[in-house]
Amino acid sequence: MDQQARLLSSQLVHKRRQVEVALTCGVLAWREIERSARRSCGFLNNGPKTASSHAVQVGEIVAVLKTKNADEDYAETGRSPKKAKHHSPLYPFAFTVSYIRRRRQHQWRCRDVTFHSANEGLCDQWIQVINEQLSLLTDRPKSLLVYINPCAGKQRGKRIYERKVAPLFSRACISADVIVTERVNHARDHLNTEANLDKYDGIVCVGGDGMFSEILHGLVTRIQTDNGVDQNQQDVKLLPCGLRIGIIPAGSTDCICFATVGTNDPVTSALHVIVGDSQPMDVCSVHHDDVFLRYSVSLLGYGFYGDVLTDSQKKRYLGPARYDLSGVKTFLSHNYYEGTISFLLAENNIGDPRDKLQCRSGCHVCQHKPSSKDVQWEMSQETSDKDGRVGWSVIRGKFIAINAASMSCACPRSPKGLSPSAHLADGTTDLILVRKCSRLDFLRHLVRHTNKEDQFDHSFVEVHRVRRFCFQPQRHEVVSLEDPIESPKKTGFRPVCSAQTTCDYGTSCSSWNCDGEILPRAAIQVRK
């Protein structure tokens, strides 16, 4: 531990043992006096820790509170006093520090440590000094606007918040205004028109990816509208949002939470919100000509993932199981779609989708700031003339799936995600093209999303890191790969649709799955 000036140091009692407790600007540390008596270099030193020494970063302290003794607790609650395990007549006064304890698989838990003293004034002094240090952490929220989707996932959103999240917010002295949504886009509309955003330090959504997307759209639209920014203009520069959005996972897949935090655990997410952790994220704007459609932060999927979502919307009564059923049905149908995709590659120093460099906290790729040379390169690539775009790559073909991953899209079922090396805030998206192939080959590709093999290592799959892309579908009926006219000798699975050779969902092409919502147009233009 680095030598730092002590703000406060005392001999206190912890679990009936005398301990020396010291607080610096960055660390709260304590250890038993008996085991450290032989050390002459002082409490905070560079030597190895003993088994009884502990240290907590001040930034990971959730709260510090005065501890009630058994008699006070009985007087307030009427409950019989518990065994005097921690209270001693010699040390009747105490304070408790709640702090974060890291566990495996990126999970956090809130732990308590209680220190006792014979001097009530000393306990009050510790509480005051620690709270003064916590007040210097300006990233921590003090007032939050919470939206709960009671229908998300297994319909446990309200219970998760009340039992796991609200007690932690209360302990950290965070006030929260809670709104339980009553309809689709309730949160979006409330943010657009009614919410007084000046009252809050952040917004928390309790739900799944769809709920996060709804709040994102409401917040971004509100900021642009208030400042006169026209979202229909493709090249307009959007104004950043001053409010952060926290996610308490309560949905079916919770891809955004898993990709940013590393786990779908409500307690872990709540603790990240409490300590003011933040992670910048790229947002893609999706347009059809000069009409704004939606924003995307995770996945844009055409073909397979679009068909899965379209079919699953008809089976919402099945809950999360609808995705499995629709996935199997779509896989057996095995449709491909013709179209033209144009894209503008990112500059070389952004990295490569297959470099196996995963995005982590402090990622140097996301922290890279474009140099003047990079900006000039991008501007030269974006130049266009009346006959077409110069510097753009164009691919025409038949595709089973076209996916644009702005993050890894990892989730418990796919720990690596659709694009394991995608970055959260590098200004790019990974464009994954899965060309027409056999059903068995496509199955091999899908299986690799669940293991450690390279899902891009197929002749029919290609991936590009891009800043912009456009897609134009071919306007004809959707054709199954099992079309007897094209493959007269095949006798494999037939499409799981009423038609024998086509799988028509009411349009002449597939649909785009935009973060769990269906886009009304297939021809789109996307930019970061």
Q: Which residues are designated catalytic?
A: 209
Element (H, E) at 188: helix 186-193
Burial of 82 (0-12, 13-18, 19+ CB in 10 A): exposed
- Cα distances from 295 to residues 152, 166, 393, 428, 516, in angstroms, run 20, 30, 24, 14, 11
Closest alpha carbon to 467 in 384, 375, 385: 375
Closest alpha carbon to 145 in 243, 287, 223, 235: 243
List residues bridging with 61 in a β-sheet: 99
Encoded amino acid at 382, one letter: E
CB 299 within 8 A of CB 404: yes
Residues 6+ apart with CB under 8 A from 28: 21, 22, 55, 56, 58, 61, 97, 99, 130
Closest alpha carbon to 512 in 395, 343, 337, 389: 337
CB 247 within 8 A of CB 205: yes
H helix intervals, 50-138: 70-77, 120-135
What SS3 class is residue 238? Answer: coil
Task: Determine the Cα–Cα distance for residues 190 and 179; give it in Å rounded to an integer.
Answer: 10
CB 469 within 8 A of CB 345: no
Encoded amino acid at 277, one letter: D
Task: Determine the Cα–Cα distance for residues 397 and 474; give it in Å rounded to an integer.
Answer: 10
Element (H, E) at 29: strand 27-32
What SS3 class is residue 230? Answer: coil
- Cα distances from 205 to residues 149, 197, 424, in angstroms, run 8, 15, 19
Task: Determine the Cα–Cα distance for residues 262 and 350; give it in Å rounded to an integer.
Answer: 23
Task: Determine the Cα–Cα distance for residues 209 and 264; give it in Å rounded to an integer.
Answer: 12
Tallying the residues shown for the chain, one arrives at 528
DSSP 402-431: EEEESS---BTTBSS-SSTT--SSSS-EEE
Placement of tokens 């007549």 in the chain = 89
Closest alpha carbon to 92 in 65, 125, 70: 70
Kindly report the number of other CB atoms within 10 A of residue 411's CB atom: 21
